Structures are given as C-alpha cells and as structure tokens.
Amino acid sequence: MARADYLFTSESVSEGHPDKVCDKISDAILDAFLAGDPVSRVACETLVTTNKIVLAGEVRGPEPLVSASGVVNVAEIAQIARGVVKEIGYEQDGFHWRDCDVEVLLHGQSPDIAMGVDASGNKDEGAGDQGIMFGYACTETDVLMPAPIHYSHAILRTMAEARRGGTEPGLRPDSKSQVTLRYHNGKPVGAASVVVSTQHAEGLSQNDVREIVRPYVTAALPEGWMCPEDEFYVNPTGQFIVGGPDGDAGLTGRKIIVDTYGGAAPHGGGAFSGKDPTKVDRSAAYAARYLAKNVVAAGLAERCTIQLAYAIGVSKPLSVYVNTHETGQVDEDKLSDALRQLMDLSPRGIREHLRLNRPIYARSAAYGHFGRKVAADGGFSWEDTDLVGDLRAAFS
C-alpha cells in the first residue's frame, strides 16, 4: 500500500550550472544542424572547465557545418559554442565567452550506426540505439508534472529572467534549487524546506542574497505554501562567488533527473541533449511523456507511467508498458492497445507525429524538458494534449 503522508524532494539547476552549460551548447549545435538539414545526424557531447570547452561526438549534416566527406567546420562550431556562453551571461575571468579555448573533436557519423538507423529498401528507419524510456504525468500541477520539480524549476527560471533582464544585477548565472514538499493523503500541501544556492557578485552578504532570492521562491510556490523560516536555506556555505565552469567542470547529460520528473518517476538512464530524434533516448522519452500526459488530461487516470523499449536498428518498440498506479478508470491492457493505435511508436512515427526534425532543442536544455508550454514554432510539441478527444472516445 502506498504511503499517504510523507516528504518528497526534487532539485533543479540553472542554465549557468556547468552541466547545463554543456547541455545547452550540445543542443545549440544540434539546432544548427537541423536548421540546415532536418535529417541531420548529431550526437554531440560537451565538456567545460576553467576557460575551456571541448566538443566530441559524431555528426552528419549540411555544409558549411560539415563537408560531404565528414570534415567538420571547426570555426563555425566553435562560434556556436561561444554564442551560447555569451547568451547565458558568462564574462568572468575564469570563463568568458570571448576568451575561452574551444576544442572541436566532432567527426563524421559511424557508417555502422548509419546502416542500422537509415531507412533503405523495405527497411524502415531503425532506433539509433537500444534502451528503455519512461514517460510520466500526474495531477499535482496544472501542467501535469510532479509538484517538487515543477516549483524547483520555477524558482530558478524566474531568477534567471530577472538576472538577464537587469532587475537583479547582483545575481550570477550558476544556481541550484531544492524543494521539499509535504504530502497528505498522497497530495502535496506545502513546502517543508527550500534550498537555493546562487552565484552572486562580490560584496553581497549571505543575508543580502537571501532577501534577493526570497520573492522568487514565494512567487513560485502556491499561496500559503512557503516553508518555515528556519527551513529556508540560501547559500548555506556562506558565499558563492566563484561558480560555473571555473568552479566545477561540467559534462553533457549529467542532470537526467533534473531534466525529467525530479525522481518522482523512473528514468531509463539515457540523456537527451545533443542527440537528434533518431536517438530514442530522446524521442521515445518525449513520446512516452506525450502519451502519459494525454492519458491523465483525458481523465483516464490521476497518475500514469509509460515505458517504451527499443533495439538498435529495429523500428518497432519491443514493449509498451502502462501503469496507472491504481488510479486508472480503464483497463491498462486496453489502454496500451489504444495508445498503440493512436500513435506510431517507431522512430519515424514519433519524429513525424511530434514534428521533431526542427531546431527546437536549445530552449529545452535548462528548466526541464517537460511541463513547458507548446511553442508557436512547435517547440515542446510533446506537451500537447491533442489525443484527449480520441482517448475519451475510445473508452466512452
């Protein structure tokens, strides 16, 4: 039997966190390739440290980014990376968009991988790798996301908007948040504690930063949910001046729980950023979220977890698992069959249904891939609830 009363915690990290700098650079490079050729193949990994950016991985795409023989345009790729760092706001001695060294080690895609993924003859496009992917949705928030991760993201997102807009000149790019919520009868009812650590300008005291941060926390949480004062922690170490890649190295794909559901649902293990839509680590995770969200939005369950499994080079999913956690209004096996009917879950089917072969990814690198608004250009298309009518009709 599930516990009814408990505490649950999730964290978020800002766009200036070293790992998120890497995610955003990798996704900006992916966007550049897809803008030039929607069937580009990209697997871009980024490492950052003090005044250094290293890019590695495999690509196949348009000139001038890469030649037909697979030679990468190093200058063009390096300029994209610098542009991301500038947009985030790093202009400090140990990490400056203009002065940092950018090493580009990208190369052409492996022909063995291309053979397994590409469609040819009677063979449909296969998955870019084996793996398992999960999607989740619940009724805890209006965007059908778990509440702790939703509010953790909101705190940092609004702080970053204020920093970039000039409202909070004392804040710097690197920050983290952590929200612990109290659950009663399985529903979130308030914050037990909130932790925010944020890089800041020299000369600001711990209390100065605390009062800068406070309104963003209270605005992010529902009215009356603020934690007790002695459970509100801001920069617990005392100060946070040296931050970003100068303070800690970063890598693409190290914040997979931040990217998804904050630990409230399973994760298959694969990261998202820097991967084109043939990589089911990304596209199938988006499809699973899309289906789970539509199930909950249709009123067929209060919670829904969906797992998809794939083999490299094989187009069909090996399994489709649906769990409504004893909140479902319909039979789970019938629900699984209905979802398969409503969406082609092959890599090609997912890509076409969600229109994923577009330059829509850099914006997803920070503050979560899920629970976001569908953009006019199709960004976050996996957050759409356009299957609700069909699902309700299937079980009317």
Residue 115 lies in a domain: no
Q: Is 20 a catalytic residue?
A: yes
Among residues 20, 82, 163, 372, the one annotated as catalytic is 20
Dist CA 43 CA 37 (whole Å): 15
- Indicate whether 104 belongs to any domain: no
As beta bridge partners, residue 321 has 307
Q: Quick check: is 276 catalytic?
A: no
Q: CB-based contacts of 32: which residues, under 8 Å, 6+ apart?
A: 65, 80, 359
The pLDDT of residue 263: 98
Classify residue 125: in a domain, yes or no: no
pLDDT for 3: 79
Residue 75 lies in a domain: no
Instruction: Let me know the angle formed at the C-alpha of 390 by 389 and 391, rounded to the nearest 5 degrees.
Output: 95
Residue 249 makes CB contacts below 8 A (sequence gap 6+) with 18, 47, 48, 49
Does residue 231 sit in the same domain as residue 298?
no
Please give the order of strands across the beta sheet that includes 41-49.
101-108, 52-60, 41-49, 250-251
Residue 204 lies in a domain: yes
Q: Based on the fold, state whether residues 236 and 311 are members of the same structural domain.
A: no
Task: Specify the CATH number for the domain of residue 296.
Answer: 3.30.300.10
Q: Are strands 250-251 and 187-200 parallel, antiparallel or unpaired?
A: unpaired
> Which of the following is catalytic: 281, 284, 338, 353?
281
303 occurs within a structural domain: yes
Question: What does the pLDDT read at residue 129?
Answer: 76
- Which residue, 194, 153, 154, 156, is CA-closest to 173? 156
Total domain count, the chain: 2
For residue 63, is it within any domain?
no
Residue 390 zone, left/alpha/beta (φ > 0; ψ -120 to 50; rest): alpha
Residue 199 counted as domain residue: yes
Q: Which of 163, 172, 200, 275 is catalytic?
A: 275
Its domain, for residue 312, covers: 131-139+280-394
- Residue 337 annotated as binding site: no
Please indicate whether residue 24 is annotated as part of the active site: no
Of 242, 269, 303, the residue at which a domain comes to its end is: 242
Same domain, yes or no, for 135 and 151? no
Phi, psi of 171 (to 5 degrees): -85, 150
pLDDT < 50: residue spans in the chain: 120, 122-123
45 assigned to a ligand binding site: yes
Active site residue 373: no
Q: Is 58 a catalytic residue?
A: yes
